[in-house]
C-alpha cells in the first residue's frame, strides 16, 4: 500500500545542476552547490551534478513527506480505509501509522521526457558536436531565448522522447532508473522503503510554470510539460507504435508505485473494424511488453477546441487524465490546452 507522499520534478533538478543550485526563476540557492556548469568538460560531469541535485531534492521531499505523514497519522486517521487493507486490523493500527503488511511510501516524479530531451540536446550540441558552448547555452536559457533565436530553433528541432529514438529513450530510461533506485534507499517514518512512480494527473502545468527556459526548447514558465511517462505534448510525431516503444523502453518493473501512460486517439480510428482491431493489438503489444497502465481518450481535436471555446455546449464531455476522469469544461485553461496538444493520432 503506497501513499502519495511527495513529488520531485526532475526538470527542476536539471535546472539546478546547470545553475549551481540556483533557481532560475527566483535567483535563490535552493539546490546543492554542484559547480559552475561552464567548467564541466564532459557530459558525465554534468550527469554527476544532476544526480547530486536529484538526490539532494529527493532527500528534502522525503524528509517533508515523513513529517507530514507523522502529522496525518496522528490527526487524520482513516479507519474505514484501514479496515480494507491487509494487516491493519491484525496490528490494530491505522494504515497511515504502519498498519499494512507492505508499508512503503511513494514519491512520484514529473518531467521525465522534458529532462531526457534537455540532456540529449546538451549531450549532442555541447559535448559531441560542440556547436553550442555551455556558456552560450546558459546565457540563452537565462534570457529565455530572447536573444538567441538560432539556438532556440536548433534545440526545439532536435530529437525528442516519444519517437522510438534510442539516443533519447536511453537517457530517459537511465534518469528514471537512477531516481527510482535512489528512492529505494530511503525509508519512511514507519520503517518501510520509498518507491517511485509517475502519474502527473492535473499537476504537470504547475511544474511547467516552476522552471525557467530549458535545453529542450521549454520556454520560461510554460505550463506544457510531459504527460506522465509520455512525451512532452505535441513532440511525439511518429505515431502510436513509436510512442509506445519509447515508454516500453523504461524498466517498468522498478516503478512499484505505478507508471501511467496516456494516449489519445481521434474518433475516426474506431469507425472501422480494422481501426478497432489495430487499437486492440496496440494495447496487447504494450502489456505483453511490460506496460503497466494505459489511459485512453477517444476524441476529435476539433471537438476539444470547440469545447474550450463553447463550454456550455460540452458540459458532458468527459476526459481521462491518468487514472482520473473529469468534465473537460471544469479543467483550467492550461490543462485544457495541454490535453488538446497531447498527442492525437489520426489516421
Partner 1 sequence: MSTAVIFNIQRFCIHDGDGIRTTVFLKGCPLRCIWCHNPESQKMSRELMFYSSRCTKCGRCEEICSNRRISDQKLDIARENCTLCGKCIEACLNGANEMCGREISAQEAYAEVKKDSIFYETSGGGMTVSGGEPAMQSDFTLELLELAAKDGMSRAIETCGYGERSFYERANELGTTFLFDLKAADSEKHKRLTGVGNEKIISNLEYLAENNADIVIRLPMIPDINDSDYDIEKMSEIIKRLSGKIKYAEIMPYHNLGISKEEGLGRTPLVNQPNVPKETVEKWIEKFAEFCVCVKQSK
* Binding track, positions 166-205, relative to partner 1; x by CB under 8 A: ----------------------------------------
Distance in angstroms (rounded) separating the CA atoms of residues 317 and 320? 10
Q: Are 210 and 9 in contact (CB under 8 A)?
A: yes
Taking the least distance from each CB to partner 1, the nearer of 82 and 232 is 232
At its nearest, how many Å lie between partner 1 and the CB of residue 43?
24
Report the C-alpha gap between 206 and 268 in whole angstroms. 32
Please report how close the Cβ of residue 319 comes to partner 1 at its closest, in angstroms: 23
Binding segment (CB under 8 A) for partner 1, from list 27-35, 95-103, 277-285, 331-339:
277-285
Site string for partner 1, 326-345 (x = CB under 8 A): -------------------x
Q: Which residues pair with 105 in a beta bridge?
A: 194
Dihedral-angle region of residue 194 (phi above 0 means left; psi in -120 to 50 means alpha; beta otherwise): beta
Instruction: Please say which residue, 153 or 251, places its beta carbon nearer to partner 1.
Output: 153
Binding region for partner 1 (CB under 8 A) out of 61-69, 124-132, 144-152, 252-260: 144-152
Please tell me the distance from the alpha carbon of residue 231 to that of residue 179, in angstroms, as a whole number. Answer: 18
How many Å from the N-terminal Cα to the C-terminal Cα in the chain?
A: 41
How many binding residues for partner 1 (CB under 8 A)?
26
Q: What does the block give as the cell for 315?
A: 458540459
Stretches 72-80, 195-203, 240-248, 252-260: which one binds partner 1 (CB under 8 A)? Answer: 240-248
Contact between 278 and partner 1 by CB under 8 A: the answer reads yes
User: Does 234 sit near partner 1 (CB under 8 A)?
Assistant: no
Which residue, 15 or 164, is less far from partner 1 as judged by CB?
164
Q: Which is nearer to partner 1, 154 or 342 (CB)?
A: 154
Q: Is 284 in the site for partner 1 (CB under 8 A)?
A: yes
- Please pick, from the candidates 48, 178, 220, 238, the single residue that binds partner 1 as defined by CB under 8 A: 238
Which of 64, 83, 86, 347 touches partner 1 (CB under 8 A)?
347
Choices 34-42, 233-241, 293-301, 327-335 (CB under 8 A): range interacting with partner 1 = 233-241
| Ramachandran class of 304: left when φ > 0, alpha when ψ lies in -120 to 50, beta otherwise | alpha
Helix axes 112-122, 10-18, angle to 10 degrees: 30
**For the stretch 250-273, what's the b/e string if a residue is b when 16 or more beta carbons lie within 10 angstroms of its beta carbon?**
bebebbbbbbbbbbbbbeebeeee
Q: What is the torsional sign of CA 235, 238, 240, 243?
A: negative
Q: Any idea which residue has 513509436 for its cell?
A: 242
- Contact between 272 and partner 1 by CB under 8 A: the answer reads yes
306: Cβ contacts below 8 Å, ≥ 6 apart: 313, 314
Please list, in sequence order, all residues whose beta carbon lies within 8 angstroms of the beta carbon of residue 14, skipping any fewer than 6 positions away: 50, 53, 115, 118, 119, 214
Q: Is 285 in the site for partner 1 (CB under 8 A)?
A: yes
Q: Quick one: 87 or 239, whose CB is closer to partner 1?
A: 239
216 in helix, strand or coil? coil
Of 149, 181, 313, 323, the residue at the interface with partner 1 (CB under 8 A) is 149
Contacts of residue 332, defined as CB under 8 A and 6 or more positions apart, other chains included, come to 202, 205
Give which of 194, 190, 197 is closest to 95, Cα–Cα.
Answer: 190
Nearest residue (CB) to partner 1, 107 versus 269: 269
The distance of closest approach from Cβ of residue 298 to partner 1 in the complex, given in angstroms and rounded to an integer, is: 16
Of positions 273, 309, 312, 316, contacts partner 1 by CB under 8 A: 273
- Is residue 281 close enough to count as binding partner 1 by CB under 8 A? yes
Residue ranges binding partner 1 (CB under 8 A): 149-150, 152-153, 157, 164, 238-242, 245, 272-275, 277-278, 281-282, 284-285, 288-289, 345, 347
Amino acid at each position: 500500500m503506497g501513499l502519495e507522499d511527495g513529488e520531485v520534478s526532475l526538470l527542476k533538478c536539471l535546472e539546478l545542476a546547470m545553475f549551481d543550485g540556483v533557481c532560475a526563476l527566483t535567483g535563490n540557492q535552493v539546490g546543492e552547490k554542484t559547480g559552475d556548469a561552464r567548467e564541466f568538460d564532459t557530459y558525465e560531469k554534468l550527469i554527476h551534478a544532476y544526480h547530486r541535485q536529484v538526490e539532494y531534492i529527493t532527500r528534502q521531499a522525503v524528509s517533508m513527506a515523513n513529517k507530514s505523514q507523522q502529522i496525518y497519522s496522528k490527526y487524520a486517521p482513516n479507519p474505514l480505509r484501514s479496515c480494507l487493507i491487509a494487516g491493519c486490523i491484525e496490528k490494530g493500527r491505522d494504515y497511515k501509522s504502519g498498519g499494512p503488511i507492505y508499508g512503503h511510501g511513494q514519491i512520484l516524479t514529473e518531467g521525465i521526457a522534458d529532462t531526457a530531451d534537455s540532456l540529449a540536446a546538451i549531450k549532442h550540441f555541447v559535448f559531441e558536436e560542440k556547436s553550442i558552448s555551455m556558456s552560450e547555452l546558459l546565457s540563452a536559457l537565462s534570457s529565455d531565448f530572447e536573444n538567441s533565436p538560432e539556438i532556440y530553433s536548433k534545440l526545439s528541432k532536435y530529437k525528442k522522447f516519444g519517437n522510438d529514438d534510442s539516443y533519447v529513450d536511453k537517457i530517459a530510461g537511465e534518469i528514471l532508473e537512477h531516481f527510482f533506485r535512489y528512492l529505494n534507499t530511503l525509508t519512511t517514518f514507519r520503517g518501510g522503503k520509498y518507491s517511485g512512480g509517475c502519474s502527473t494527473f492535473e499537476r504537470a502545468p504547475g511544474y511547467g510554470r516552476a522552471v525557467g527556459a530549458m535545453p529542450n526548447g521549454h520556454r520560461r514558465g510554460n505550463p506544457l510539460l510531459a504527460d506522465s511517462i509520455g512525451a512532452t505534448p505535441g513532440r511525439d510525431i511518429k505515431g502510436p507504435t513509436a510512442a509506445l516503444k519509447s515508454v516500453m523502453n523504461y524498466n517498468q518493473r522498478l516503478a512499484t508505485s505505478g507508471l501511467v501512460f496516456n494516449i489519445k486517439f481521434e474518433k475516426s480510428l474506431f469507425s472501422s473494424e480494422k481501426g478497432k482491431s489495430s487499437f486492440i493489438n496496440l494495447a496487447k503489444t504494450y502489456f505483453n511488453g511490460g506496460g503497466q497502465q494505459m489511459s485512453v481518450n477517444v476524441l476529435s481535436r476539433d471537438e476539444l477546441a470547440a469545447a474550450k471555446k463553447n463550454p456550455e455546449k460540452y458540459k458532458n464531455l468527459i476526459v481521462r487524465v491518468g487514472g482520473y476522469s473529469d468534465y473537460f469544461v471544469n479543467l483550467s485553461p492550461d490543462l485544457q490546452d495541454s490535453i488538446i496538444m497531447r498527442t492525437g493520432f489520426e489516421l
